Amino acid sequence: MKKILGILGVAVIGGGIALGGYKLFVEQPQVIIERTISPLSNVVKSNYTETGLYNGATTTDFTIAAEKTVNAVVHVKNTAVKTQINPWAEFYYGRGSGARKYEQVGTGSGVVITSDGYVITNNHVIAEATDLEITLNNQKKYKAELIGTDPDNDIALLKINTDQELPYIPFGNSDQIKVGEWVLAVGNPYNLTSTVTAGIISAKGRDLKGNNNVESFIQTDAAVNPGNSGGALVNIRGELIGINTAISSKTGSFIGYSFAVPSNIAKRVIEDLMEFGSVQEVAMGILYSSKENESINGVKVSNIVEDGSADEAGIEKGDVIKKINQVKISKYADLAGQLRAKRPGDFVNVTVDRAGVLLVKNVRLKKRKSTFISKAFKWELINLTKKELKDKGISAGVQIYAAGDDYSENSLRGFVITKVNGEKINDAKSVAETLDALGRDRRYKIIIEMLNLDGEIERIRFR
């Protein structure tokens, strides 16, 4: 009985800490109409790893999973050549004296996923690299070739050439993981060679504001610190279920939560990079409003894209998406995570709630349209067809295909931009460039005129 009470006490304390950590570091106030563009500090990309020990159930044996994975996690060294400009040098020393080149070195982790030397890591670990070096757990070093990257999902694929067969970690099914399940995190914290720590799955489908692309992180309580980005999150069978990517922190070091890209997304990304050289994104062809989904256990369809996948399958405006195949959909992050793991041409069974009646629609996913990203606003913009413009009663307009993070709410998805600071716009690319130029100069207000999902004109001001 004392033992049981002790375990319950630890659980209660742990729950309190987790709730407090969520309230303090993850949950953020929602701002809808007028907001100030400013950097987000509490969710950071991290070159990190795990340095904690979970003292839970003593019957769980992690040794087999550790033995299977520790030699398949590598250290990734990124060397980038930078140019530093001294604006005063030319004045004192003459033309050409102001530029100085220097090397900048970054480190992280990677996971060997095939015996012939393919390595998966985070895109932010190798971004802007001019030279990549991989060190195995046995201290052997290899030059690495960059095969491809996907910044949206923060995944990169590398290749090393070696005559020996390398230990590797097989992919697991991240859809099948459960909250409370034990996991191991393997990586290289602070340049330490393969370090293993344990934790549990704290949450699934986590949408982190500040990571405007990945919308379906696995959250764990495994300790992570600088040097561990790109490392492995594995189950107790030693299967890869995630790529460790980010931490929730104001200090840059671990404070209780870490986040990983689900393995099903990572697997689909590297398969596309191997086969096509780029990622083949899919779209279901629906619009949704976060406002309409706040009290709904699912994703309510605000509108349907004409001739899109959902339209062809018979999904209607007002339907609430409850499942993709057999995976429960509670919020948009769940839906986004499922779609990111699919490819154009794939079929999915979509369960929708239509006025209290559950219907299953077989949807063939189509390739996502070309988009243009405004980095300042974190918006993905697409051009409208002539028919779409005519139907909306406008001569020109650019639609917000995706929106999120601290600068703009998901409620702007599907809105159509018609003017920026009183000027009519022409195409998605020029609008993205204009918004980025205005966003860099904070002396000016930005007034954007839009059509909302009901066809009404709204003007939103940004300072």
Given a cut of 80, whether residue 439 has pLDDT beyond it is no
- 159, 142 contact by CB (below 8 A): no
Given a cut of 60, whether residue 126 has pLDDT beyond it is yes
SS3 at position 75: strand
Least confident span in 86-100, 276-290, 423-437 = 86-100
Q: Is 373 exposed, middle or buried (0-12, 13-18, 19+ CB in 10 A)?
A: buried
pLDDT at residue 408, rounded to an integer? 40
Residue 339's H or E segment, with its range, is helix 332-340
Given a cut of 80, whether residue 162 has pLDDT beyond it is yes
**Matching CATH number, 71-159, of 2.40.10.10, 3.40.50.2030, 3.90.226.30, 3.40.50.620:** 2.40.10.10
pLDDT above 70 covers a percentage of the chain that reads 74
pLDDT at residue 54, rounded to an integer? 37
Tokens of 386: 């002539």
H-assigned helices in 184-322? 263-275, 290-293, 309-313
Least confident span in 31-35, 284-288, 426-430 = 31-35
pLDDT at residue 180, rounded to an integer? 92
Task: Give the residue with greater pLDDT, 31 vs 284.
Answer: 284
pLDDT above 90 covers a percentage of the chain that reads 36
The DSSP secondary structure of 318-336, one letter per residue, reads T-EEEEETTEE--SHHHHH
Task: Give the residue with greater pLDDT, 265 vs 439.
Answer: 265
Average pLDDT over residues 366-392: 83
| Conformation bin of residue 422: beta by default, left when phi > 0, alpha when psi is -120 to 50 | left
Residue 349's H or E segment, with its range, is strand 347-354
Q: Using CA atoms of 214, 220, 225, 228 in order, give the dihedral in degrees to the nearest 10.
A: -60
Q: Name the residues annotated as catalytic.
A: 124, 154, 229
Given a cut of 80, whether residue 424 has pLDDT beyond it is yes
CA 125, CA 106: separation in Å to the nearest integer?
7
pLDDT at residue 99, rounded to an integer? 60
- 12, 18 contact by CB (below 8 A): no
Q: Using CA atoms of 377, 379, 383, 388 in order, give the dihedral in degrees to the nearest 10.
A: -110
* Each residue's pLDDT tens digit, 35-90: 333 333 333 344 433 333 334 444 578 899 999 999 999 999 988 876 666 655 55
Tokens of 439: 């966003």
CA 224, CA 204: separation in Å to the nearest integer?
18
Given a cut of 50, whether residue 12 has pLDDT beyond it is no
- Rounded to 10 deg, the angle between the 263-275 and 332-340 helix axes is 30
Q: Using CA atoms of 117, 121, 125, 128 in order, give the dihedral in degrees to the nearest 10.
A: 60
Task: Give the residue with greater pLDDT, 247 vs 9.
Answer: 247
CATH annotation of 372-462: 2.30.42.10
**Beta-strand runs (E) in 86-169:** 99-112, 118-121, 131-135, 141-143, 145-150, 155-159
pLDDT at residue 214, rounded to an integer? 57
- Please state the CATH superfamily assignment of the domain spanning residues 282-367 in this structure: PDZ domain (2.30.42.10)
Given a cut of 80, whether residue 246 has pLDDT beyond it is no
Given a cut of 90, whether residue 158 has pLDDT beyond it is yes
* Each residue's pLDDT tens digit, 260-310: 999 999 999 999 999 888 888 898 988 876 666 667 889 999 888 878 899
Residue 184's nearest CA partner among 214, 224, 146 is 224
pLDDT at residue 435, rounded to an integer? 87
Domain boundaries, the chain: 41-68+171-275, 71-159, 282-367, 372-462
The pLDDT mean for the chain works out to 78
CATH architecture of 41-68+171-275: Beta Barrel (2.40)
Given a cut of 80, whether residue 460 has pLDDT beyond it is yes
pLDDT at residue 351, rounded to an integer? 97
Given a cut of 60, whether residue 10 has pLDDT beyond it is no
**Same fold? 41-68+171-275, 372-462:** no
Strand partners, 320: 300, 353
* Each residue's pLDDT tens digit, 329-338: 988 888 988 9
pLDDT at residue 297, rounded to an integer? 87
pLDDT at residue 55, rounded to an integer? 41
Average pLDDT over residues 113-125: 94
- 310, 364 contact by CB (below 8 A): no
Does the reported pTM lie above 0.85? Answer: no
pLDDT at residue 443, rounded to an integer? 65
